[in-house]
Amino acid sequence: MVVVISSVVVAVVVVVVVVVVVVVVVRVVVVQVVLIVVVVAVVVHVVAAAVVVVVEVQVVVVVIVVVVVVVVVVVVVVVVVVVVRVVVAFRSTRSHEVAAAVNYRLCGLAVRHWLRDREVRGLIPGRVKPSTFKLVVQTLSNNALVVILIVIVVVVVVVEVVVVVVVVVVVVVVVVEKVVAVIIVQQQEKRISVSVEVIVVIERVVVVVAVVVVVVIVKVVVVVAVVVVVIVVVVLVVVLEVAFIEVVVNVLKKEVIVVIEELVVVVVVVVVVVVVVVVVVAVVAVVVELAS
């Protein structure tokens, strides 16, 4: 019950904080993406707490399944976002200068700086090469999504620490009451040695505190892992987007975009089917482990 309550509290607090930050800081276009990320983080957070309590020894199987699903989702998100953004950029302009369309509508701050530099220099192929390190630094420092994710981590850690403190205080109070009651009974029965009842009470207390601490650690680690995955996705999207624009501008030209669109449709369909299959297999594996 304590685990369920703490998970629900953390989920509600995180959602409220993120929604407020998103409404204040981010544009409407990014709100949907951020909310999807938050929902995924909260779901994984709650599932992790339930898995630790219910599955116990079978946690390794669940972790492997979750890692596989996360890797597949990251690959799909990066590929689809990069391809769609570049294709839309090409279709939104009639001229060969794609930078004007990509510059102000679709790309992040790092990509805009690089494209503006390319545009000033006349879009000369090979003249200006993007620095991966510079792109990563600019993206992380100027991306509102990264700031929101850091806020999520801070809020989750603070709430979890408060939950642990409250649980420990309640457990200590209950234990003191039970131990005092046992000692009173011992005195009435004129027994001086430590009874088995006191040892049993202390053992139960240690187990409860250990379970709560382990669950909190797992939930915090899961949330931090989700944040790291999202930051990696942001960086990969920026770097791959610049590389993709470079290839399309210099090699493919605008006419090949139609072929790319058709390939994108096929790839998206295949990827969706693969993701559905992986998720179904993961759910079946978890159900089988829980049933066993």
User: Do you know the residue count of the chain?
Assistant: 292
In a domain, 292, yes or no: no
Phi, psi angles (nearest 5°) of residue 258: -60, -45
In a domain, 291, yes or no: no
Who contacts 142 (Cβ-Cβ below 8 Å, separation ≥6)? Answer: 108, 109, 110
In a domain, 207, yes or no: yes
pLDDT in tens, 256-284: 555 555 555 555 565 666 666 666 665 55
- Mean pLDDT estimate for the chain: 57
Domain count along the chain: 1
Counting residues of the chain whose pLDDT is more than 70, the rounded percentage is 7
Predicted TM-score (pTM) of the model is: 0.40
- The confidence score (pLDDT) of residue 85 equals 59
In a domain, 103, yes or no: yes
In a domain, 284, yes or no: no
> Domain range holding 191?
2-279
Highest mean pLDDT among 32-46, 131-145, 181-195: 181-195
Q: Assess contact for 136 and 235: CB atoms under 8 A.
A: yes
In a domain, 9, yes or no: yes
Cα gap 98→83, rounded to integer Å: 14
Closest to 97 measured CA to CA, from 111, 118, 127, 66 = 118
In a domain, 116, yes or no: yes
In a domain, 123, yes or no: yes
- The confidence score (pLDDT) of residue 170 equals 72
